[in-house]
């Protein structure tokens, strides 16, 4: 599905039409909703820059002019290739920057004092959105509601449900339901190097259909259909999963099936939820840590702690480039910091504490969400004793052809084992995530189809 980019010339008209056509405000008041597209961006961020100018105002222009020579389907050229870092943070000077870092980020300097660094570049608020997304979000601001104690969302479709959030759980749902395309196919590798830098290239093809963003599925309770198919290593080749997720994962829990290539059998996978380890991630990533957070939020009490200005992965075009190899990226302890980019941005901060009586390997999690896109950029995770255990970062960039902000890769660090796990590397393939293919028939997302995919 292709959508025109939002322009400032159309923004006011689109938002005014959406708001004036809404007779009642179940979410926020008419006065609050009217701020969207005015002092707030269409998705609810502060339009203005910060006090010292280190975070610019949002303009809606994305990267500006698309780099010369780019054709759709290519890896995205880096529009900021000529920029020099404003600063380079190392273990030697990190004390000057801890007020702009999360606890997990700071811990990486202590864990890898000789090699980890963060190159900080000028900030660019490149987020852009399709016009229909803007219109729908203005309407959802008035109608979207939480249900079942915050464990589901109703009266929302194809939008950010809570662009002016009142609680931590609303912010988390904005991440879970944010726009990531409608149907996407990616061929990725997700290696998990050990402490010495040794790894296996786990290769997959992933099909993900976000029914929540398909106008033909406006009455459906399904949020997404997801099929990851393993291509390598040989011992797992042909294995595949089918996951069906709903807008209320408590009323409608995830349905999951697994196809075992060696057995040529499809079986239900009832435990593919919460803190179940992802099979290909060597225990370093959990099912509910996929896409930084994925699945039901019901085990944790989520508290909104406000906004902070911190240094986060942003505009990581070089890391997603087709000009560098997996071997160049995958260095011992962490990915190669020469290819990463950090910028100062405002983020929403939400803390999740495990509810009394619930079980999970994490007792607490702290997430930092980009105010412009509702994408989790940093996720710090704490063990049952409350000690920092893992930290993940999401290296996003703009897919200007849609437009949508998506990940160049996620990196999940285990600070105790000194291993990390990546998800989404595409550098050695023909192009990045493909969002141009037509949506397949729903019969594609069935256990029967899973068997056919696995034997190809």
Tokens read off for 253: 């829990």
Give the containing element (helix H, strand E) for 170.
Answer: helix 168-176
pTM comes to 0.93
Tens of pLDDT along 344-397? Answer: 999 999 999 999 999 999 999 999 999 999 999 999 999 999 999 999 999 999
% of residues, the chain, pLDDT over 70 = 94
Residue 24 has pLDDT above 50, yes or no: no
Residue 92 has pLDDT above 90, yes or no: yes
Provide the pLDDT confidence category of residue 21 given band limits of 50, 70 and 90.
Answer: very low
Output the CA torsion sign for 201, 207, 213, 218: negative
Provide the pLDDT confidence category of residue 14 given band limits of 50, 70 and 90.
Answer: very low
CB atoms within 10 A of CB 267: 12
Long-range contacts of 85-93 (CB under 8 A, 24+ apart): 85/119, 85/120, 85/121, 86/120, 86/121, 86/122, 87/119, 87/120, 88/117, 88/118, 88/119, 88/120, 89/117, 89/118, 89/119, 89/120, 89/311, 90/116, 90/117, 91/116
Tens of pLDDT along 400-432? Answer: 999 999 999 999 999 999 999 999 999 999 999
pLDDT at residue 236 in the model: 87
% of residues, the chain, pLDDT over 90 = 87
Output the CA torsion sign for 67, 68, 72, 75: negative
Tens of pLDDT along 276-287? Answer: 999 889 899 999
Tens of pLDDT along 204-216? Answer: 999 999 999 999 9
pLDDT at residue 454 in the model: 66
The SS3 call for residue 100 is: helix
What's the average model confidence in pLDDT over 62-81?
96
pLDDT at residue 455 in the model: 55
Q: Which CATH class is domain 90-128+183-454?
A: mainly beta
Ranges 116-120, 190-194, 268-272, 388-392: which has the least confidence: 268-272
Give the containing element (helix H, strand E) for 414.
Answer: strand 404-414
pLDDT at residue 452 in the model: 82
What's the average model confidence in pLDDT over 255-262?
90
Provide the pLDDT confidence category of residue 49 given band limits of 50, 70 and 90.
Answer: very high
What's the average model confidence in pLDDT over 434-448?
96
- Between 144 and 262, residue with greater pLDDT: 144
Q: Which residue has the tokens 């200007």?
A: 400
What's the average model confidence in pLDDT over 47-58?
98
Residue 15 has pLDDT above 70, yes or no: no
Domain residues of the chain, as ranges?
Answer: 90-128+183-454
Give how far the C-alpha of residue 42 lies from the chain's centroid of Cα atoms, to the nearest Å.
19
Evaluate whether 374 touches 43 at the Cβ level (below 8 Å).
yes
What's the average model confidence in pLDDT over 93-105?
98
Looking at every residue in the chain, the average pLDDT score rounds to: 93
């Amino acid at each position: 599905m292709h959508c025109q980019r939002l322009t400032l010339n159309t923004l006011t008209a689109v938002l005014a039409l959406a708001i004036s056509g809404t007779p009642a405000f179940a979410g926020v008041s008419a006065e609050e909703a009217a701020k969207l597209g005015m002092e707030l961006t269409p998705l609810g961020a502060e339009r203005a820059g910060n006090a010292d100018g280190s975070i610019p105002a949002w303009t809606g222009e994305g990267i500006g002019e698309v780099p010369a020579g780019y054709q759709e389907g290519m890896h995205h050229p880096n529009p900021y290739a000529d920029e020099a870092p404003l600063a380079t943070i190392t273990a030697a000077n990190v004390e000057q920057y801890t007020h702009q870092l999360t606890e997990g980020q700071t811990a990486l300097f202590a864990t890898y004092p000789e090699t980890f660094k963060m190159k900080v570049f000028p900030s660019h608020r490149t987020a852009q959105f399709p016009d229909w997304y803007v219109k729908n979000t203005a309407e959802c601001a008035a109608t979207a509601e939480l249900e079942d104690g915050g464990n589901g969302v109703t009266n929302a479709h194809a939008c950010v449900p809570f662009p002016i959030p009142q609680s931590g759980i609303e912010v988390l749902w904005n991440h879970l339901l944010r726009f990531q395309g409608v149907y996407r196919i990616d061929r990725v590798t997700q290696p998990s190097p050990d402490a010495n830098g040794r790894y296996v290239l786990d290769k997959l093809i992933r099909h993900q259909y976000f029914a929540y963003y398909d106008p033909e599925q406006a009455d459906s309770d399904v949020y997404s259909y997801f099929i990851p198919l393993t291509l390598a290593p040989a011992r797992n080749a042909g294995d595949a999963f089918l996951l069906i997720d709903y807008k209320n994962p408590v009323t409608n829990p995830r349905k999951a099936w697994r196809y075992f290539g060696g057995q040529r059998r499809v079986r239900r996978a009832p435990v593919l939820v919460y803190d179940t380890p992802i099979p290909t991630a060597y225990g370093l990533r959990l099912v509910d840590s996929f896409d930084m957070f994925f699945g039901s939020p019901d085990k944790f009490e989520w508290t909104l702690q406000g906004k902070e200005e911190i240094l986060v992965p942003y505009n990581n075009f070089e890391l997603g480039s087709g000009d560098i190899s997996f071997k160049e990226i995958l260095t011992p302890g962490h990915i190669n910091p020469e290819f990463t980019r950090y910028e100062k941005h405002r983020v929403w901060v939400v803390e999740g504490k495990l509810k009394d009586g619930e079980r999970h390997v994490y007792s607490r999690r702290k997430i930092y969400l980009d105010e412009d896109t509702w994408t989790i950029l940093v996720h710090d995770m704490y063990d049952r004793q409350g000690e920092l255990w893992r930290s993940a970062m999401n290296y996003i960039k703009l897919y200007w052809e849609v437009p949508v902000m998506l990940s160049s890769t996620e990196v999940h660090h285990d600070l105790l084992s000194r291993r990390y796990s990546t998800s989404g590397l595409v550098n050695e393939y023909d192009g990045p995530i493909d969002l141009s293919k037509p949506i397949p028939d729903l019969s594609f997302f069935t256990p029967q189809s899973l068997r056919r995919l696995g034997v190809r």
